[in-house]
Amino acid sequence: MLTQGILFGVRNYLETRRTLKLGGKRVEVRIKEFISKYATIILLMIFYMAFHIALSPSYWDDANYRRDLGGSISNLLPFLYTGYRLQTSRTTIELVIGILSLLPYAVWKILDLLIILLLYKDMEWFLEYIFDVNDSKSKWGLTFLLCSLPFSIMACAGWLATTTNYLWVISLGWYALNKVLKNIILEEKLSVTEQILTILAVLYSGCFESVAALMLVGMVSAIIYMRYAKHKKVPVYLWIVFFMIVLLFIEILVCPGNKNRMESDAGYWMTDYAQMNLLDKLRMGIVTAFMHFVSIPSPVFFMISSFGAVIAFLKKGTWIQKEVALLPLVMDILWTCYFMINYLMGNKVMTYQVPNSLLTGGTDTIEQILLLLTVAIWFASILYSFYWILDDRKDFFLCLTVLLVGCVPEIIVGMSSTVVNSMLRTVIYLYLSMIVLILCLWKAAREFWKGYKWLRITIYAMLIFGTLLNAIQMTRHILIYG
């Protein structure tokens, strides 16, 4: 009996170990499958999580918000009313900022990481279903391009204030756009949850001035398309979104805070604003935005300029076409070298460059005229190159639309007296447009991918360099400001 008991115990022990071993292998396999499936997202989150742990939303506008609220929720309504009367119509955004200002920093940091994840998923969906870019290499490209985005521009007014006004607005607005496209273009019915989330996303993003203008044009186009092209009934949630955007747009127009801010900003940021005509304002918007891309080495701007040139030289075409495709890259390098030389000579700083608001002659006037010519040539070259590189004309017109939409916020800000202060963070719209265009070119490079090892190495090297440069810039900002 004792022997049988011992044998029974040993057998149970061995079976238990075998079961645990098999279970452990299954868990290990599932973990490997999870990592393989979500590797791009994991890398993106690890990269930005490392910096979010270190950064501090406690200075500039962030500190002002916290001070105005006095640490009490009872001050929230007076805070919103004062903001609406004196500063801004972005009431929904201000409400979120007010609540976050009363909470520990960790709450904003977690939400900001989730918004970055949402932006990735927004762009992934948009590229897959609108541009048919859905291979694994493109997803890795999207991850590295987002890691190359100069994220320190999201701290130019304070981390919390800038991200909630720009990054969150774009991510949530793009989510709403994707759901509308899913319903109208792909003809897929949205669930009740998706409809509610779309309405909430519009409520948040639609109170931002330039986004409200884009949304209004987009919704009018969507309703006309549904009624007269598809000959279908417009869904109720789309009407709700449309009227919500109309109300938000009216609020922007009548808000006393917007008028007051324009007058106060003109006196503080640009004293020559009253003397500027429409062309002066347009010039300031264009030159200020372009100087941002070339006064500091910009990996994303460099990549869109270089990708077109590389693919053009690999693709069958005339030498004139190839030389035109090379122009954006040449101009990027020349202007960056120009600012670098001026920096070494002590004439300029290698940071954010601000042109003179009025042309008064001298070096600055010549510089601005040359920059305007450069911008015109850059756009003409890029569009011409895309036109003959992309075999599908639909892709070309989609790229054209994305690029123009990315330029609208810069033009709107350029018309305002806050161009000097606001352009630094507004360029995120154009950056994201460029990333979409780069990945569209990535699709065009598929036919050359396997045949040219140097092309793969070069692309990977640029993506890694862009990520490292962004990491250096963010580290510098955190060490200096927090």
Q: What is the mean pLDDT of each run of 10 residues along the chain (482 residues)?
A: 54 59 65 80 97 94 93 93 92 96 96 98 97 90 96 94 97 97 93 96 96 95 89 91 96 92 75 85 90 88 92 86 94 92 77 78 90 96 93 92 94 83 90 96 79 83 94 93 89
Q: How many angstroms separate the Cα of 4 from the Cα of each of 7, 14, 141, 330? A: 5, 15, 63, 85
What is the C-alpha R_g of the chain? 26
Amino acid 468 reads L
Sign of CA dihedral 64, 70, 73, 78: negative
The dihedral built from the CA positions of residue 82, 84, 87 and 91, taken in this order, carries a sign that is positive
Number of neighbouring beta carbons within 10 Å of residue 243: 11
Question: What are the residues whose beta carbons fall under 8 Å from the beta carbon of 59, sequence distance 6 or more?
Answer: 158, 481, 482
Q: How many CB atoms lie within 10 A of CB 128?
A: 14
Q: Using a CB cutoff of 8 Å and minimum separation of 24, what contacts does 401-406 make?
A: 402/433, 402/436, 402/437, 403/433, 403/434, 403/437, 405/214, 405/429, 405/433, 406/430, 406/431, 406/432, 406/433, 406/434
Q: How far apart are CA 373 and CA 143, in angstroms?
A: 33
User: Which residue has tokens 């499936």?
Assistant: 37
Tokens of 448: 């050359």
pLDDT for the residue numbered 25 = 65
Contact indicator for 158, 59 with CB cutoff of 8 Å: yes
Q: How many CB atoms lie within 10 A of CB 425?
A: 21
Helix (H, G, I), strand (E, B) or coil at 128: helix
For position 2, what pLDDT does the model report? 45
Check: CB of residue 299 under 8 Å from CB of residue 462.
Answer: yes
- What does the longest C-alpha to C-alpha distance in the chain come to? 108
Phi and psi at residue 295, in whole multiples of 5°? -75, -25
pTM of this prediction?
0.92
Of residues 329, 411, 95, the one with CA closest to residue 337: 329
Angle at 271 between CA 266 and CA 273, to 5 degrees: 65
